[in-house]
Structure formats: structure tokens, C-alpha cells
């Protein structure tokens, strides 16, 4: 029955969308709503079906509860094989409750596909790069958030049961939706010895009493009962770990990093992504969308991680600062220093072990609720916003209830679609700005070109070939960190030809003096650490022979270019 | 069964002979061990269960043999001893010892071990690194054996394309040396078999370049820079993993061998102690942790956010003990046992890197008993050298630091060191220093202390006056100095020492004990790219395992010692449960949970790292109500040797009302008791 309802829901979206579609839009998805797991899958399938030549849809594995982790790859096979192009990874919703991260991924997919061939920059990036887009890293958590009563913050975790309270039982005392309104709100009890009193400005809120004042209320925490009779309430809810602490760089055990899991990649979802990424070594950019707080975050996640190299920091800064301009109210920050310590986070592994320039983006839009414009949003302002612009749907008025332990209580407070997700009318702009930030990040991936190629005849069948390889984007073909720690392979420059022998190969030290450093051995394969961002490499070969030669520059993450020259 | 908690009887089982058939044919290889385990399992179906806990990168089974007799509790819930062996791959003796442990248990299953097999379980894994074992016995190199995971060491287009070759066909991959203008090696002046780095300061002029035997398969100008495989499994575990280190793997637990073991442990929470046979030895060389991180810093500042909460000055420095006292006074600490380790975590000082002080006392006792056993059985040469502590990313250190149970790792044999000439009696020695009091040390006088410093090669780094001041001021003790000197000697590269190189010991020993000796004389060879070279040097695998004839007598007492440890595991019982009438239908219920084992039910660090769950005592009542006390009671730990934890409840009920008490634990068994209101 549930399945039928979902199908009906999906169908009705499609139907409504088609009915209101602008004529030049192939897949008129709505972006003022959130998509549950099945709807998200259906939307991705629609995109894939509408743009079969530019997309690949695959499941990269199953979640703990057996849901497929759907990944949409966007690339143009006519402009070259995927592995020969730099790849951008975009994911979201690693925390089950941080749902709108998935819609950013969906919006980005939709925007790239719909505008391919219409907007030059979109066409260019789709032609020269690969996007691997995984809208929901934690589909079990997403399903749990949509289908079950929750707070805006529950639950970050996946759904594998964990014995949080170490009593030998798993997930046996979760919060309970006592008032049956679909959200886990708060419990309070009238008590003259309480430490809270009614807020004189808004009777729905409470404020702490001052010393000497009599109170009105005691707060009793989130809605729930003592399901297992151990004298504690809500102490062992569903799951109980953090998929964004389970990655293999700077990982620390649970007692150092709460929620880390038993060992790196012990959970299915990060493991599936790891296996995919290891098989796609051309990934050099990554964005992981979360909520909330309006933060564009980069590593290190902990002060104990190895430091970033200065030239990598400059790359991060150039992207992060652009993000601050594209995303008003967002701040570009360093995780351990400006936020808090995170051991074993996903983007830390992507940078530390794969050499990809990776950001976490904490989606937010709540500055528009700042009615007194002091730069902060408090509960009074949130309530005004909810009253004026959402007509009160985000707040559950306090209602009397009976509790088996506490007796007469009141239940009320913020519902689950407040605080971290946004009102319908705010959504599209938020999605657009963030998706285009990811697009900008992709545009920063290495863009290689031959700036100049020159063949000098030295006589006696000997030629000197001088080549300038240019990287026209901010990101180098390998991060300085990857070069330093030997992550991935070096770039390979070659001169090949049917009747050509390569005698020496190297880099030019001084173009004016004409000095060069030749590689000690194996001139057929010239190994280069990296082509720097917004920089050039001057390469030189001594070759003998005649006829056509192909100059190629082949980078694992930065793409592959080649050019044919004549030895004459 | 009540287990003796005090005495430690050196096993009479030394008398029990091991099955000799296996060793008579030499060390078992991987396949032979498999056959032996299958035979054992087939012949002992009621006690032995053979299972595969995973496969190596090369697709080879990793076996665990479970040995458990009939008993009240199912085997996978009994306090268990895990014996793992040969995680290195080349430690054939270790694998033999693990199989011998199974034989030993089975031979005495109806006798001495009847009790322990009824209340405990043994998990025995003779080959934790199958690929490594196959590599070690195949065409061994001098490196640590690796699994078959393809690692592109030289960062080119292909992995594993340039490994070593036995060029001269003598059956060994050894070393090539050739003269080169940039050569930095010379033959060792004290032993021409051995090569050493020329020391320019001593006027030595380098002659040779050295590279392992092989050709430049991929034509990149480097020789053997990308050999087949792989990862050194005993460096791949998540405690103190070293990133970007050759052989460690790309990240912790990247390898199937590592994952198989981790998953086995997390699905067998009943493992209460781990004993490893391999290359390390933390019983002969017990240390609290890595030298650099052995102790928490003396004084710390409290970060602002905590300082505000604790109401203290963030500019001031405090000792950890002072911070613990302050934290204990806060509401957060209610009902929680605040330890120094927890405070260190709160202050963001990272993971625990040294044995907890309380846990260390238990380690010291086992270490003492181990040394007594070694002495009594004379299996180990008394001159065995100190070894470094458990390695970075090693299995044995992971067991304690992440899994929270005692972990011992022993090598049981090493090439005996030559007897050193006894220093003159009147001189100071490191050995004497260990037991010397502060006053005795100071009484030696500056001259003798200076001579000692010189003898230790520490002249110039420390002066006698400096040391005297430090001892006087209490910054160090003679025992601490001895420990420091020994650690330094252990960490030092043998080449740094004066006199004969360390390889000489090995070669001299091999000369007498290994057929054909351990040295391959340098012989000329025409190398395809290097031209004239000489091939020779130390044979790989020499000195890793003792001659097989000696193996049996080494294994027997060591195995007996290891197996015996199971009898010391924690075991809980609900004791002396009783009901007292208080009048008016009220009753007081009391019970004690007693630990009959020698070990505590959880090590201190097992509580800190949350890997050892508490004992959970449940109270259920029919025909009455609980007025005070908890339905679910958590006991973090109970010390060993008969210590107990008392629990009380106040109930109201009618005569005949039933109370069911149950105690359950991950690693120390379970018990239940029923009471009736009188």
C-alpha cells in the first residue's frame, strides 16, 4: 500500500510538472519542494531518460537497509573518454536529516543538462569535465527523516542499530511522538520551582528565571517515554553514529571522535563511495553538501592532520572566497580552527588520501529571518517569520498531555521542517546559488592547453622540441599535498612518432639562457609532478628522425591533451 | 568451578609432549597448516570448530579455530582467549606455536583443561597473514612480507611491474653491489661480509652502491622500485597508523586481512585477552607507551569554553590531576567516573598513547611471570636484546588501545646475542642503575658517573653535573635513566654503534646453526644495465626462525604459558543475594556481583575507550513493586580476585513475590538468581 502511494505521489509530480513546463525545458522538476528517497530516485531516472547521451545512472552499492545509492554521471562521451577528463564529485545528505543537500545535487544535475547547448559555460564544462553526482549518501537516514516523527536535527545517523547506552539492547528507547503530529517536539511541566518562565514578549517561548524569581516551567527534553524502563528517557534512539566520521584519513576511534564507528569505512555507505572513488582516480574536485550554518568548509579537520601546503591553500582560498561572493551570508572557514575538530570526515579523506580539492558546504538561508537586522536570529524572530510568512505552520502550539512518568505536561515547539530546511518560497534561489558554486568549483579544475610548440632543426637529423603546457584554471593537475606524499601518479609528457627516437627529455630551467634539466633515464617517458594552477610548464625534448610527431601531456586528474607536429 | 585467583603454578603440562610428526618434517607452510587444521577439526568435532573469517588480498582463507567444551553458556558468549600468530608472514615458529596450542588443549581436554574448556573459549588463528606467509616461503626478500594488494610504489602507469629477481640463480634474492663514483658504501672494517655507509668524518671514502638483486624491468632507470604487493598487515591497524609510510597501506584497515580480524573482534565481544605469537615482545620489554608520548604533559591550560564553564582562569596552567578534581565537582561528572584519560580527551589532547597506570600493574605482573617462566625453562637466551614497543599500526597495540582488553605479543625466539664481556665489577652498569636508590647513585660521585656517561656514548650530550643535579632535584630517578638508556639503545641503528656490526651476530650464529650458513659470498655478475656487479650478502629469512630441531622445546613452555592465561579471565557470579524484611510489607534486597577471575571485568582503558561495556544487572519483580533502586544497573568494572560490587533495592510486595536478578556482561560471563519474598 505504501509503495502504491509513493508511485501515485511520483506520478502526480511528473504530471503537475509537465502541465506547467516551460516549452524549452525537457524535465520540468519543481524546486520548491523536497523529494523523498523514491521521488529523488524517480527524478534522477527522468533526467537520465531525457538526456541519455550525457548521463549515466548507476547504483554504487546498497545502504545498510538495502537502498540503492544512485549516482548520476554527467559527461559528454563525444568529447573524449571520462578518464581523460578531470572529474568533479558532488554529494549531499550524508547526515540523514540534512535533506535539502540532495536537492542541490538534483538542481545541479538538472541545470547542467537543461542548459547544455544553451549557455556557453555550461556546454564548455560538460564537454571538458565529468560530474559524479550522488544526491543522497545516506538514503536510510533520508527515508527515516521523511517517514518518521523527528526533530529538525534527528537523525544524522544511518539506521544500523547501535547500543548507545551500553545495556546490551539496540535502539530500544527512541523519542516518541506522543501527540502524534509527525514531529518530535519538546515537553514541559508547570512547576513553581522550575528554572524557566513564560517569555513576556511571546507566550509560546520561555526564558530563564533570574536569581530570586519564582519559575513557572521545567523543561523535560524531547517528546518521549522510558521505553525500556531503565529510568532514562530517549537514551537509545535509532542508529547512533555519524557517517561523516567514518572515513580513513585522520580517523579516530569512538572515544576520541564520537560516532566514528568501529574502524575506517566500517559502514556500507562510505565504503561504497570509497570503492567508486578509488576506481575513478580522475576525481580532483569534491563538494559535500550539508546543513546548516552558512559555511564553506575546508580541512584540516583536526590540528593533528598534516598541514596543507601553501600553494594548495591558495587554490582553496580562490574557490572559497568566490563562494562567499556567490553565497551571501556564507563564510569560508577551516574546520578545526574556525568550527570544531572533525576526525575522519569525508572531505578530509578525499583531500588527504585521494588528492582532491574538497569542500563541505553547510547550506543555510536563515539570515532573511533577521527582522531586527542585528546579524543574529533568535527564537522570537523565528516565530515572527513563521507567523508572518508561513502562517504558523512551523510551530506546534503547546498542548496539554499525560505522561506516564511526569503526569500532566505540555507538548509543543518547532516542527521538523523548521530551522534547518527552508520555507517553500526560499528554496529555489538557495539551490541555484549553491549548485552554481559547485559549478564554479568544477570550472576551477585543471584546463590544459599547449600554449606554444616549437621545433628547432639542429642538423644531422636532430631536433629540439620546445613546448609550453598551460593550465588555465586554478587547480593544479595534482595537489601539492599529493605530490609531497606520492598520492596518485605523476603527469606524463611524451613525444612519439613512427620514425622518431627520443634522446633527451626534460624541463627548461631558463628560457632566456636556454638551459634545461633532462631526466636522467627513460626519455620516452617524461614524468612531471604537476602542472600548476594558472601556470605553465616549459618542456623540452631532443629527438632524432623525421616526419610527424605527437606531443602528449597526460595527467591522471588533469585531463589529457595532444598535438601533432612536423619535424622539419 | 571456582578459579584459583592467587597462585600461579607453572604448568605441569610442560611434560606433555607435542605431536612431533609435524615438526619432524620441517616448518609447515600455509597449505600444510590448513590440512592440519582440517584434520584437527574433523577428529574433534565436539570441541573444535574451524572457520574462515575472511580472505587475504590474494584470496587465501584466514582461519580461526574455536576450541570450547560443553558448558552452561554457549561458546561465543564465554570469556575468551584469542591466540593469533604470524601476522608478519615469515614467523613460521609462531604459526607452529599456535597450532601446538590447539594440540595442547585437545591433548588435555579431558584432564587439566576440562574446567577451563567448559567455562571459557579459545579462538586460535595460526596464520593471520596468509599472503605474507606464502611470500616468505616463496622467493623471499629481506623486506617485511606483504600481502598481494597491488600498490603502485613508483607512481607510474602500472603497479607491481619492477620487483626483484634471483639473477645468479642461487635460490636467493640478495643484494648487488657495484663500484660507482657516487657510491657511499664500504665493506665493514670489522667484518668484510657486511657493508656499511662510509663515514666521511672518520675519513672513510665510499666506494659501492647497493641495490637489491634484480633488473630494471620497466626501463625507468630504477631497479626493483615497484615490487609485487602490498601492505604489511601489522602496520595497517587503526591505532597510531602512520600515513604515507611504505608498506603501511593507504589508510588504516585498508586491507582485507585487517578488516577480517577487526570484524571478527567486533562480532566476538567475548574476547577478553589476546596473546600474539610473532616478532614483537611486550612481556620481556614492557613499556607504557611510545617514548615521546609516554606521559601526559605536566601542565595544561584549559581552553576558554571549558574554563568559563568550570569558572577558572584560562591563562593559568594546571596539572591533569587538578583538572580531574575540578571536573569531578561539576554537574557533568555526576555518576560518571572521571579519569585522567577522559580529561585529556576533553582538552583535545588526542588519543591515549600509553598504558593506563592501573592497567599497567596487571601487565607488570604478567610480565614478571613470563620472565620467571623464561628463566625457569631456559628456552630464551638471557642475553636477548630489548626490542622496541609494539609497532605503529600493529594488531597487538590496536587490541589494547581500541578494543580495550589486555594484549600480549611475544616472539618466543630470537638470534642469541653474543655474550658481552662482563664490565668490571666496580663500574656502574645499566643493570645496576635499575635498582639503585637516589642516595646510592649520588654516592658514586662525579668521576664514576662521568665514566658511565662516557661508556654509554653519551658524552657531550649530558654531563655528570647535569645528571647529578637532575637526580638531586627529583626530575629523574636512576631507574628512569636506565629505562631511557635502554630505549635509546633499542631505537639506535646498529650501524651507529662502534665495533662489530649487528649483522655479524646473525652471520656468526648462522655459520654454526644453519646448513650452509647465512652469508652468500660476493660473486661477480654481468648485469644488463649496471655492468659488472657483485651479488651476495645476508640470506633472507635467516635468523627469523630457529632451526626446526629447536622449535619444539621453545614452543612447549610458551604455549603452556599462553593457554594458562585463560584460567585468569574475569568471571562474574551473583553471590549472597538475600531479602530482609523491613516491616509493613517493605523489604530490602541485597546482592553482590563477584568477579572470580584474576583480571578485572574491564581494564581502565576499556572503560575510557568505551569498548568494554559495563556489566548490566537487571531487576525484575512479579507480585510487588520497586520503591527504590534501578531496574537496569550498570557496573563499569569489578576488580579481580574475588572483589565485588554491592547492589540494593527497596521493594514492597506480598509473601511469595518473585524477584529475578540477572547479571550479563560481554567478557566475563553471566549469572542469574531468583529470590522469593519470605
Cβ neighbours of residue A343 under 8 Å, at least 6 residues apart?
A: A245, A250, A251, A252, A256, A257, A260, A301, A302
Contact: A253, B243; criterion CB under 8 Å: no
Side-chain-facing half-sphere of B474: CA atoms under 13 Å: 0
Contact: B351, A253; criterion CB under 8 Å: yes
Contact A238, A138 (CB under 8 A): no
The confidence score (pLDDT) of residue A15 equals 44
B284-339, pLDDT tens digit by residue?
Answer: 888 887 644 444 567 888 878 778 877 788 888 888 888 888 888 777 676 667 77
Cβ neighbours of residue A203 under 8 Å, at least 6 residues apart?
A: none
Give B451 to chain A, closest Cα distance, Å.
42
Q: CA-CA distances (angstroms) from residue A220 to A189, A195, B53? A: 7, 12, 47
Give B613 to chain A, closest Cα distance, Å.
6
Burial B277-302 (b: 16+ CB within 10 A, else e): bbbbbbbbbbbbbbbebeebeeebeb
B224-267, pLDDT tens digit by residue?
Answer: 999 988 999 999 999 999 999 999 999 999 999 999 999 999 99
Judging contacts by C-beta atoms under 8 Å, the chain A residues touching residue B662 are none
List of long-range contacts for B29-36, beta carbons under 8 Å, 24+ apart: B29/B133, B29/B134, B29/B137, B30/B60, B30/B127, B30/B130, B30/B133, B30/B134, B30/B137, B33/B63, B33/B95, B33/B99, B33/B126, B33/B127, B34/B61, B34/B63, B36/B99
Which of A297, A299, A317 shows the shortest CA–CA distance to A307? A299
Contact: B632, A231; criterion CB under 8 Å: yes
Judging contacts by C-beta atoms under 8 Å, the chain B residues touching residue A83 are none
Average pLDDT, chain B: 87
Contact: B251, A249; criterion CB under 8 Å: yes
Burial B503-530 (b: 16+ CB within 10 A, else e): bbbbbbbbeebbeebbbbebeebebeeb
Burial A500-515 (b: 16+ CB within 10 A, else e): bebeebbebeeeeeee
Among chain A residues, the shortest Cα distance to B636 is held by A166
User: Which residue in B155, B251, B632 is closest to A486 by CB distance?
Assistant: B155
Establish, for the pair of chains A and B, how many residue pairs have beta carbons separated by less than 8 Å: 99
- Does the pLDDT at position B442 exceed 70? yes
Contact: B155, A254; criterion CB under 8 Å: no
Lowest mean pLDDT among B147-161, B258-272, B461-475, B571-585: B461-475
- Does the pLDDT at position B497 exceed 50? no
Mean pLDDT in residue range A200-213: 95
Question: What nine digits make up the cell of A1?
Answer: 500500500
Contact: A251, B251; criterion CB under 8 Å: yes
- Does the pLDDT at position A179 exceed 70? yes
Contact B87, B407 (CB under 8 A): no
Q: Which residues of B touch A (CB under 8 A)?
A: 152, 155-157, 219-222, 238-239, 243-244, 250-254, 259, 262, 266, 345, 348, 350-351, 401-402, 608-611, 613-614, 616, 630-632, 634, 664
The confidence score (pLDDT) of residue B4 equals 36
The confidence score (pLDDT) of residue B8 equals 43
Cβ neighbours of residue A368 under 8 Å, at least 6 residues apart?
A: A385, A426
B546-559, pLDDT tens digit by residue?
Answer: 999 889 889 999 99
Give A404 to chain B, closest Cα distance, Å.
16
How much is the pTM?
A: 0.90
Strand-pair category, B531-538 with A196-198? unpaired
Which single residue is written with the C-alpha cell 544497573?
Answer: B633
Among chain B residues, the shortest Cα distance to A484 is held by B244
Cβ neighbours of residue A191 under 8 Å, at least 6 residues apart?
A: A215, A216, A217, A218
Contact B310, B292 (CB under 8 A): no
The helix or strand, by DSSP H or E, that contains position B506, with its residue range, turns out to be helix B502-513
Contact: B238, A251; criterion CB under 8 Å: yes
Which single residue is written with the C-alpha cell 572521571?
Answer: B338
User: Which residue in B219, B614, B631 is closest to A231 by CB distance?
Assistant: B631
User: Which residue in B251, B259, B609 is closest to A255 by CB distance?
Assistant: B609
Give A113 to chain B, closest Cα distance, Å.
33
Cβ neighbours of residue B265 under 8 Å, at least 6 residues apart?
A: B82, B271, B399, B403
Average pLDDT, chain A: 94
Contact A255, B258 (CB under 8 A): no
User: Which residue in A230, A256, A264 is closest to B251 by CB distance?
Assistant: A264
Strand partners, B49: B66
The larger pLDDT score, comparing residue B533 to residue B493, is at: B533
Q: B501: pLDDT confidence band, cut at 50, 70 and 90?
A: confident
Contact B90, B41 (CB under 8 A): no
C-alpha dihedral sign at A386, A387, A392, A393: negative
Contact: A263, B348; criterion CB under 8 Å: no
Contact B11, B101 (CB under 8 A): no
Judging contacts by C-beta atoms under 8 Å, the chain A residues touching residue B219 are 521-522
Burial A304-326 (b: 16+ CB within 10 A, else e): ebeebbebbeebbebbbebbeeb
DSSP notation for B20-31: -HHHHT-S--HH
Which of A166, A180, A35 shows the shortest CA–CA distance to A93? A35
Task: For an interface test with B, give the residue of A160, A259, A264 to mutate (most B CBs within 10 A).
Answer: A264
Judging contacts by C-beta atoms under 8 Å, the chain A residues touching residue B664 are 168
Contact: A488, B155; criterion CB under 8 Å: yes
Mean pLDDT in residue range B155-160: 91
Q: B110: pLDDT confidence band, cut at 50, 70 and 90?
A: very high
Lowest mean pLDDT among A178-192, A199-213, B433-447: B433-447
DSSP notation for B234-250: GG-SSTT--TT-TTT-S
User: Which residue in B221, B262, B350 is closest to A304 by CB distance?
Assistant: B350
Contact B96, B201 (CB under 8 A): no
- Does the pLDDT at position A155 exceed 50? yes
Which of B114, B122, B119 shows the shortest CA–CA distance to B40? B122
The helix or strand, by DSSP H or E, that contains position B650, with its residue range, turns out to be strand B644-664
Judging contacts by C-beta atoms under 8 Å, the chain B residues touching residue A490 are 155-156
Question: What nine digits make up the cell of B359?
Answer: 592497567
- Does the pLDDT at position B189 exceed 70? yes
Judging contacts by C-beta atoms under 8 Å, the chain A residues touching residue B610 are 166, 254-255
User: Which residue in B220, B252, B609 is closest to A521 by CB distance?
Assistant: B220
Contact: B250, A525; criterion CB under 8 Å: no
Q: Give the dihedral of Cα atoms A384, A387, A392, A395; nearest 10 deg.
A: 10
The confidence score (pLDDT) of residue A525 equals 97
- The one-character DSSP state at B354 is B
The confidence score (pLDDT) of residue B3 equals 34
Plot region of A522 (φ>0 → left; ψ -120 to 50 → alpha; else → beta)? left
Judging contacts by C-beta atoms under 8 Å, the chain B residues touching residue A489 are 152, 155-157
Give B632 to chain A, closest Cα distance, Å.
5
The count of residues in chain A is 568
Contact: B251, A520; criterion CB under 8 Å: no
Mean pLDDT in residue range B26-45: 96
Judging contacts by C-beta atoms under 8 Å, the chain B residues touching residue A251 are 238, 251-252
In terms of DSSP H, where are the helices of B378-414? 395-398
Among chain B residues, the shortest Cα distance to A271 is held by B254
User: Which residue in B250, B608, B616 is closest to A167 by CB distance?
Assistant: B616
- Compute chain A's Rg from CA coordinates: 28
User: Which residue in B221, B253, B266 is closest to A521 by CB distance?
Assistant: B221
Which of B93, B213, B194 shows the shortest CA–CA distance to B508? B194
Contact: B238, A520; criterion CB under 8 Å: no
Cβ neighbours of residue A119 under 8 Å, at least 6 residues apart?
A: none
Q: CA-CA distances (angstroms) from residue A531 to A86, A312, A527, B122? A: 13, 13, 11, 57
Give B648 to chain A, closest Cα distance, Å.
15
Which of A245, A251, A301 shows the shortest CA–CA distance to B258? A251
Give B601 to chain A, closest Cα distance, Å.
15
Q: CA-CA distances (angstroms) from residue B24 to A136, A381, B21, B549, B551? A: 60, 85, 5, 8, 10
The confidence score (pLDDT) of residue B211 equals 95
The confidence score (pLDDT) of residue B475 equals 77
Amino acid at each position: 500500500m505504501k509503495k502504491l502511494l509513493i508511485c501515485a505521489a511520483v506520478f502526480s509530480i511528473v504530471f503537475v510538472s509537465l502541465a506547467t513546463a516551460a516549452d524549452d525545458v525537457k524535465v520540468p522538476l519543481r524546486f520548491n519542494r523536497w523529494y523523498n528517497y523514491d521521488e529523488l530516485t524517480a527524478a534522477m531516472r527522468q533526467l537520465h531518460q531525457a538526456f541519455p547521451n550525457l548521463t549515466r545512472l548507476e547504483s554504487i552499492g546498497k545502504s545498510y537497509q538495502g537502498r540503492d545509492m544512485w549516482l548520476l554521471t554527467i559527461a559528454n562521451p563525444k568529447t573524449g573518454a571520462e578518464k581523460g577528463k578531470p572529474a568533479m564529485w558532488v554529494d549531499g545528505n550524508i547526515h540523514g536529516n540534512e535533506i535539502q543537500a540532495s536537492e542541490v545535487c538534483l538542481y545541479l544535475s538538472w541545470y547542467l543538462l537543461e542548459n547544455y547547448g544553451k549557455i556557453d559555460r555550461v556546454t564548455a564544462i560538460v564537454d571538458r569535465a565529468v560530474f559524479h553526482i550522488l544526491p543522497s549518501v545516506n538514503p536510510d537516514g533520508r527515508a527515516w527523516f521523511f517517514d518518521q516523527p523527528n526533530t529538525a536535527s534527528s537523525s544524522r545517523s544511518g539506521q544500523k542499530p547501535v547500543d548507545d547506552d551500553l545495556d546490551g539492547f539496540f535502539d530500544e528507547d527512541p523519542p516518541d511522538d506522543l501527540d502524534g503530529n509527525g514531529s518530535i517536539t519538546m515537553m514541559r511541566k508547570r512547576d513553581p520551582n522550575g528554572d524557566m518562565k513564560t517569555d513576556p514578549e511571546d507566550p509560546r517561548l520561555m526564558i530563564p528565571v533570574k536569581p530570586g524569581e519564582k519559575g513557572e516551567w521545567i523543561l523535560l527534553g524531547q517528546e518521549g517515554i522510558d521505553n525500556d524502563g531503565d529510568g532514562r528517557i530517549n537514551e537509545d534512539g535509532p542508529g547512533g553514529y555519524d557517517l561523516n566520521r567514518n572515513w580513513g584519513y585522520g580517523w579516530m576511534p569512538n572515544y576520541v571522535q564520537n560516532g566514528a564507528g568501529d574502524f575506517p569505512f566500517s559502514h556500507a555507505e562510505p565504503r561504497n563511495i570509497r570503492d567508486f572513488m578509488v576506481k575513478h582516480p580522475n576525481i580532483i574536485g569534491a563538494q559535500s553538501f550539508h546543513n546548516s550554518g552558512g559555511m564553506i568548509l575546508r580541512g584540516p579537520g583536526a590540528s593533528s592532520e598534516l598541514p596543507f601546503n601553501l600553494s594548495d591553500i591558495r587554490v582553496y582560498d580562490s574557490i572559497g572566497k568566490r563562494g562567499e561572493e556567490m553565497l551571501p551570508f556564507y563564510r569560508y572557514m577551516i574546520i578545526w580552527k574556525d568550527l570544531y575538530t572533525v576526525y575522519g570526515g569525508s572531505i578530509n579523506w578525499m583531500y588527504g588520501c585521494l588528492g582532491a580539492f574538497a569542500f563541505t558546504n553547510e547550506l543555510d538561508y536563515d539570515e532573511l529571518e533577521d527582522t531586527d537586522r542585528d546579524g543574529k536570529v533568535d527564537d522570537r524572530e523565528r516565530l515572527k517569520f513563521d507567523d508572518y510568512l508561513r502562517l504558523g505552520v512551523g510551530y506546534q502550539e503547546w498542548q496539554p498531555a499525560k505522561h506516564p512518568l511526569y503526569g500532566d505536561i505540555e507538548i509543543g515547539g518547532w516542527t521538523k521542517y523548521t530551522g534547518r530546511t527552508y520555507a517553500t518560497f526560499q528554496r529555489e534561489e538557495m539551490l541555484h546559488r549553491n549548485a552554481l558554486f559547485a559549478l564554479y568549483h568544477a570550472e576551477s579544475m585543471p584546463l590544459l592547453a599547449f600554449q606554444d610548440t616549437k621545433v628547432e632543426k639542429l642538423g644531422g637529423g636532430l631536433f629540439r622540441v620546445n613546448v609550453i603546457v598551460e593550465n588555465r584554471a586554478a587547480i593544479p593537475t595534482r595537489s601539492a599535498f599529493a605530490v609531497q606524499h606520492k598520492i596518485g601518479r605523476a603527469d606524463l609528457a611524451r613525444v612519439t612518432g613512427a620514425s622518431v627516437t627520443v634522446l633527451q627529455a626534460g624541463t627548461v630551467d631558463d628560457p632566456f639562457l636556454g638551459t634545461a634539466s633532462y631526466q636522467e633515464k627513460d626519455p620516452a617517458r617524461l614524468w612531471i609532478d604537476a602542472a600548476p594552477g594558472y601556470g605553465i610548464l616549459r618542456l623540452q625534448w631532443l629527438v632524432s628522425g623525421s616526419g610527424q610527431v605527437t606531443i602528449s601531456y597526460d595527467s591522471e586528474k588533469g585531463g589529457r591533451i595532444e598535438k601533432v607536429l612536423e619535424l622539419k | 568451578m571456582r578459579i584459583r585467583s592467587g597462585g600461579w603454578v607453572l604448568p605441569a603440562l610442560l611434560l606433555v609432549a607435542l605431536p612431533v610428526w609435524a615438526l619432524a618434517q620441517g616448518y609447515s607452510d600455509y597449505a600444510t597448516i590448513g590440512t592440519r587444521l582440517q584434520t584437527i577439526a574433523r577428529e574433534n568435532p565436539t570441541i573444535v570448530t574451524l572457520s574462515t573469517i575472511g580472505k587475504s588480498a590474494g584470496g587465501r582463507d584466514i582461519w580461526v579455530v574455536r576450541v570450547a567444551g560443553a558448558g552452561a553458556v554457549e561458546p561465543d558468549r564465554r570469556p575468551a582467549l584469542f591466540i593469533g600468530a604470524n601476522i608478519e608472514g615469515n614467523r613460521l615458529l609462531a604459526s607452529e606455536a599456535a597450532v601446538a596450542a590447539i594440540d595442547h588443549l585437545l591433548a588435555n581436554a579431558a584432564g587439566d583443561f576440562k574446567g577451563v574448556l567448559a567455562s571459557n573459549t579459545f579462538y586460535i588463528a595460526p596464520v593471520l597473514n596468509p599472503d605474507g606467509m606464502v611470500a616468505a616461503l616463496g622467493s623471499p626478500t629481506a623486506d617485511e612480507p606483504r600481502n598481494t594488494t597491488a600498490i603502485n610504489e613508483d607512481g607510474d602507469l602500472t603497479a607491481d611491474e619492477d620487483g626483484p629477481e634471483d639473477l645468479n640463480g642461487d635460490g636467493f634474492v640478495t643484494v648487488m653491489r657495484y663500484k660507482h663514483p657516487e657510491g657511499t658504501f664500504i665493506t665493514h672494517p670489522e667484518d668484510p661480509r657486511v657493508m656499511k655507509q662510509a663515514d666521511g668524518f672518520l675519513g672513510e671514502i665510499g666506494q659501492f652502491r647497493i641495490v637489491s638483486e634484480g633488473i630494471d624491468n620497466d626501463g625507468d632507470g630504477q631497479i626493483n622500485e615497484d615490487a609485487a604487493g602490498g601492505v604489511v598487515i601489522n602496520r595497517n591497524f587503526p591505532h597510531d597508523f602512520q600515513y604515507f609510510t611504505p608498506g603501511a597501506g593507504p589508510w588504516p584497515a585498508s586491507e582485507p586481512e585487517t578488516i577480517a580480524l577487526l570484524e571478527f573482534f567486533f562480532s566476538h565481544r567475548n574476547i577478553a585477552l589476546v596473546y600474539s605469537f610473532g616478532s614483537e615482545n611486550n612481556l620481556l620489554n614492557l613499556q607504557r607507551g611510545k617514548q615521546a608520548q609516554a606521559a601526559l604533559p605536566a601542565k595544561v591550560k584549559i581552553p576558554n569554553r571549558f574554563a568559563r564553564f568550570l569558572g577558572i582562569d584560562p591563562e593559568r596552567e594546571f596539572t591533569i590531576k587538578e583538572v580531574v578534581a575540578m571536573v569531578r565537582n561539576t554537574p557533568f561528572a555526576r555518576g560518571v567516573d572521571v579519569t585522567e584519560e577522559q580529561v585529556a580527551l576533553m582538552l583535545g589532547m588526542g588519543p591515549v598513547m600509553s598504558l593506563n597506570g592501573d592497567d599497567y600493574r596487571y601487565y607488570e605482573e604478567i610480565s614478571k611471570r613470563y620472565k620467571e617462566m623464561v628463566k625457569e625453562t631456559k628456552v630464551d637466551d638471557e642475553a636477548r636484546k630489548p626490542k622496541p614497543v609494539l609497532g605503529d599500526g600493529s594488531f597487538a597495540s590496536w587490541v589494547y588501545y581500541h578494543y580495550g582488553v589486555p594484549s600480549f605479543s611475544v616472539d618466543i625466539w630470537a638470534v642469541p646475542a653474543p655474550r658481552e664481556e662482563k664490565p668490571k665489577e666496580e663500574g656502574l652498569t645499566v643493570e645496576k642503575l635499575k635498582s639503585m636508590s637516589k642516595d646510592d647513585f649520588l654516592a658514586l660521585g662525579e668521576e664514576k658517573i662521568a665514566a658511565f656517561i662516557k661508556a654509554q656514548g653519551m658524552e657531550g650530550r649530558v654531563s655528570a653535573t647535569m645528571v647529578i643535579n637532575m637526580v638531586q632535584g627529583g626530575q629523574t630517578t636512576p631507574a628512569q635513566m636506565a629505562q631511557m638508556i635502554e630505549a635509546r639503545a633499542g631505537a639506535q641503528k646498529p650501524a651507529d654503534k662502534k665495533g662489530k656490526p649487528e649483522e655479524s651476530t646473525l652471520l656468526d650464529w648462522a655459520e654454526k646453526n644453519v646448513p650452509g650458513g647465512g652469508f652468500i659470498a660476493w660473486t661477480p655478475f654481468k648485469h644488463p644495465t649496471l655492468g659488472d656487479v657483485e651479488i651476495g650478502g645476508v640470506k633472507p629469512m635467516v635468523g627469523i626462525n630457529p632451526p626446526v630441531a629447536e622449535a619444539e622445546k621453545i614452543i612447549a613452555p610458551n604455549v603452556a604459558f599462553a593457554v594458562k592465561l585463560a584460567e585468569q579471565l574475569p568471571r562474574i557470579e551473583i553471590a549472597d543475594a538475600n531479602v530482609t524484611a523491613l516491616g509493613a510489607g517493605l523489604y530490602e534486597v541485597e546482592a553482590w556481583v563477584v568477579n572470580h577471575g584474576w583480571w578485572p571485568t574491564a581494564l581502565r582503558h576499556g572503560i575510557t575507550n568505551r569498548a568494554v561495556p559495563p556489566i548490566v544487572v537487571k531487576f525484575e519483580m512479579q507480585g510487588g513493586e520497586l520503591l527504590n533502586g534501578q531496574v537496569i544497573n550498570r557496573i563499569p568494572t569489578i576488580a579481580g580476585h574475588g572483589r565485588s560490587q554491592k547492589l540494593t533495592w527497596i521493594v514492597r510486595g506480598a509473601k511469595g513475590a518473585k524477584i529475578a536478578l540477572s547479571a550479563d556482561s560481554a567478557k566475563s560471563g553471566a549469572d542469574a538468581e531468583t529470590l522469593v519474598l519470605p
